[in-house]
Structure 1
Amino acid sequence: MTSPAPTCGVILLGHGSRDPLWRAPIEAVQARIAQAQPQTPCCCAYLELTAPDLGQAADQLIARGVQRLRITPMFLGTGKHAREDIPRLVAELKARHPGIAVEVQASVGEDARVTALLAQIATESSPPTA
């Protein structure tokens, strides 16, 4: 018996960098989602300098059968990319896939849980190193 196609896929959208190590934290979030919610398709996408871009990531998830996309901008603030570039890219994505519902969350840094954790990290003593 085959399992039903997932209905919602998650795209973790980062800025991108020429440095491949830069992707590690976003990919770690993707790995945690895969471990905690293996039924939820999740992939990373990047605005520039790194593949896949948003359209490619969306195509991958849609090919897996998702009908809804949840885009999570992995930015600390709502700068030019979040205000201008992401809405433009999402409009292009909706035009290419009119039958797919697309939800864009606020930048993760705008979430009070993230800012609380960052404040905690900044004020705690560093763990001892080996």
Structure 2
Amino acid sequence: MSEALILFAHGARDPSWAGPLERLRDRVAARAPASQVGVAFLEFMAPSLPEAIDAAVASGATRIEIVPVFLAQGGHVRRDVPVMLEAAAIRHPQADIRLQPVLGEAQAVLDAMADVVLREAAQGR
């Protein structure tokens, strides 16, 4: 079974907005060399989530984990993503496509963000 991880974010009109997500992708890929690691966007940027899922399946992935790189679960994750994943499951019945919890709600992420906030504040930035 081949696994793919897709880091899914909102997207923006400014191409430089994707920089942090691409750096996260590179770090995850370095730590998970047996997995395909890619990015996908809800709007304004490519690839879209359906395109990224299709590409992962075309590359041999049979298990695909979608990681919403959002600070909190909002309407897009609650309403839009499940519809996209249902359609992907119909297109690719051989693939196990799963939605992970929103990254920004993970306790470890919140702790890391608090550390950065406090460190930056202490340095007067």
Q: TM-score range by the shorter chain?
A: over 0.9
Q: CA deviation at 1:126?
A: 6.4
Matched position secondary structure for 1:124: helix
> Which whole-Å deviations, capped at 9, do the CAs of 1:71-92 have from their partners, x for residues lacking one?
0000000111111111111111
Answering whether residue 10 of structure 2 is matched by residue 25 of structure 1, we say: no
Task: Name the SS of the counterpart of 1:90 in structure 2.
Answer: helix
2:72 corresponds to which residue?
77
Identity rate of aligned residues, in percent?
A: 33
Q: Distance in 1 between matches of 2:116 and 2:66?
A: 26
Give 1 or 2: higher helix fraction.
2
Name 2:108's counterpart in structure 1. 113
Count of aligned residue pairs for this structure pair: 123
Secondary structure of 1:67's match?
Answer: strand
User: 1:3: which partner in 2?
Assistant: none
User: What is the letter of the counterpart of residue 10 of structure 1?
Assistant: L
Structure 2 match to 1:39 = 34
Provide the TM-score with structure 2 as the length reference. 0.92
Whole-Å Cα distance in 1 between the matches of residues 122 and 50 of structure 2? 40
Deviations 1:82-130 (CA, angstroms, capped at 9, x unpaired): 11111111111111111110110011011000001111111114698xx
CA contact (8 A) 2:89 2:97 kept: yes
Pick one of 4, 11, 19 that aligns with 1:9.
4
**RMSD, matched Cα:** 1.5
- 2:56 counterpart letter in structure 1: L
Question: Following the alignment from structure 2 to structure 1, what is the Cα–Cα distance between the partners of residues 120 and 28?
Answer: 28
1:34 Cα shift?
Answer: 2.0
1:15-47 deviation line (CA, Å, top 9, x unaligned): 011101110111111111222222210110000
